[in-house]
């Protein structure tokens, strides 16, 4: 949602007839951007599934850009996963994300893309950075070890966009979302994030009549959550109103405890059992909140209340229960 602040629309903005390539259009972020742009009246999209175009293959990506010549690119494609996957497949997460980014960003430069948006992650910030996380905290300390390879790849993407802008004048911008949730999320218990994992756990416990659900830690850490549709709205806003080398945080500016999140999801799902906290398991970082002062100053704020967003996300999960059979 755009607030009452007025922002000057840039010359290099999204024309209604522009050809737009959304890399990763079937994922949670890419599909949200696709929905947003269609709702705004855009129709000239070029998309490819990962089987149709392997973004890790430089020659294939070059050929695609040479043939299609997109005007604008949203780079939402990435190899992603939860803490366990990040920690086990460290080489894959570093190498494959570097390949995807390098190939798309360089081809965007080679074939005259007007503007590219690179989407990163809040994990780029140092593990012990002050809260809330400001954009200028990047590279001021060591990273969280478990997802360091993914974070390093994303930092490289930010710096690559900055370098193309500096050397060639490319209109490449970088956006760092906070924790996301929404339609097309991943509900797999082995490699999903905390919010979708909780939705599935409470749903399965409800269906199976389990008396309790066990969750890790104490429930005391605080986390910030942004609905994917709000991120898409922010991306659309920034693609039109922002063209600077510095990255931009996208979040709500508010957080809640994991315990509060669990109680909220429990209520939405309609589970009536108990929650048992396994304090032998780690809590993780005590707090991870984004500073969104820059984004608010540009004139954008989120509009989806977390309760409303979780209710909508649970309905999305229910539509996918055949995939995630209980």
pLDDT tens profile 179-210: 999 999 989 877 778 999 999 999 999 999 99
Q: Which two tokens stand for residue 200?
A: 């599935």
Is residue 222 a known part of a binding site?
no
pLDDT digits (tens, 9 = 90+) for 269-283: 999 999 999 999 888
- Active-site positions read 150
Q: According to the model, what pLDDT value does residue 35 have? A: 98
180 assigned ligand-binding residue: yes
* Band (323; pLDDT cuts 50, 70, 90): low
Average pLDDT of the chain, as a whole number? 93
Do the annotations mark residue 10 as ligand-binding? no
CB 34 within 8 A of CB 47: yes
**Tell me, what's the pLDDT at 34?**
98
26 carries a ligand binding annotation: yes
Are residues 135 and 128 in contact, defined by beta-carbon separation less than 8 angstroms?
Answer: no
Would you say 179 is a known binding-site residue?
A: yes
CA distance 20 to 46: 6
Cα gap 166→28, rounded to integer Å: 31
Q: For the segment 292-306, what is each residue's pLDDT rounded down to a tens digit? A: 999 999 999 999 999
Contact 44, 18 (CB under 8 A): yes
pLDDT at 324: 57
Cα 74 versus chain centre, distance: 12
What 3-state DSSP class applies to 77? coil
**What stretches of the chain show up as alpha helix (H) in DSSP?**
28-39, 58-68, 83-88, 90-110, 148-168, 194-208, 228-241, 258-269, 293-298, 306-319
> Containing H/E element for 316?
helix 306-319
pLDDT score recorded for residue 76: 98
CATH 3.40.50.720 applies to domain 20-184+225-253+288-304: yes
Share in percent of the chain as helix, strand, coil (round to 5)? 45, 15, 40
Q: Is 38 annotated as a binding residue?
A: no
Instruction: Please check the confidence at residue 5 and state whether its pLDDT lies above 90.
Output: no
């Amino acid at each position: 949602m755009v607030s009452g602040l007025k922002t000057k629309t840039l010359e290099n903005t999204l024309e209604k007839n522009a050809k737009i390539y959304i890399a990763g259009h079937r994922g949670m972020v890419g599909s949200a951007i696709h929905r947003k742009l269609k709702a705004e009246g855009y129709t000239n999209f070029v998309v490819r599934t990962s089987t149709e175009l392997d973004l890790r293959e430089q020659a294939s990506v070059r050929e695609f850009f040479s043939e299609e010549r997109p005007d604008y690119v949203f780079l939402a494609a990435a190899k992603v996963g939860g803490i366990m996957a990040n920690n086990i497949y460290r080489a894959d997460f570093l190498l494959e994300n570097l390949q995807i980014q390098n190939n798309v960003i360089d081809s965007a430069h080679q074939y005259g893309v007007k503007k590219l948006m690179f989407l990163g992650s809040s994990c780029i910030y140092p593990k012990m950075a002050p809260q809330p996380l400001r954009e200028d905290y990047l590279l001021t300390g060591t990273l969280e070890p478990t997802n360091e390879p993914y974070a390093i790849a994303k930092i490289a993407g930010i710096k690559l966009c900055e370098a193309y802008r500096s050397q060639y004048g490319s209109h490449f911008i970088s956006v760092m979302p906070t924790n996301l949730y929404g339609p097309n999320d991943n509900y797999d218990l082995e490699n999903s994030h905390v919010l979708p994992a909780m939705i599935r756990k409470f749903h399965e416990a409800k269906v199976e009549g389990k008396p309790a659900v066990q969750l890790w830690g104490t429930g005391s850490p605080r986390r910030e959550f942004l609905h994917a549709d709000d991120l898409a709205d922010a991306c659309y806003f920034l693609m039109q109103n922002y063209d600077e080398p510095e990255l931009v945080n996208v979040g709500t500016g508010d957080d809640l405890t994991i315990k509060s999140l669990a109680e909220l999801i429990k209520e939405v799902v309609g589970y009536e059992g108990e929650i048992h906290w396994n304090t032998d398991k780690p809590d993780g970082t005590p707090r991870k909140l984004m500073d969104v002062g820059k984004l608010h100053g540009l004139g954008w704020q989120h509009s989806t209340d977390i309760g409303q967003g979780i209710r909508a996300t649970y309905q999305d999960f229910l539509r996918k229960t055949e995939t995630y059979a209980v």
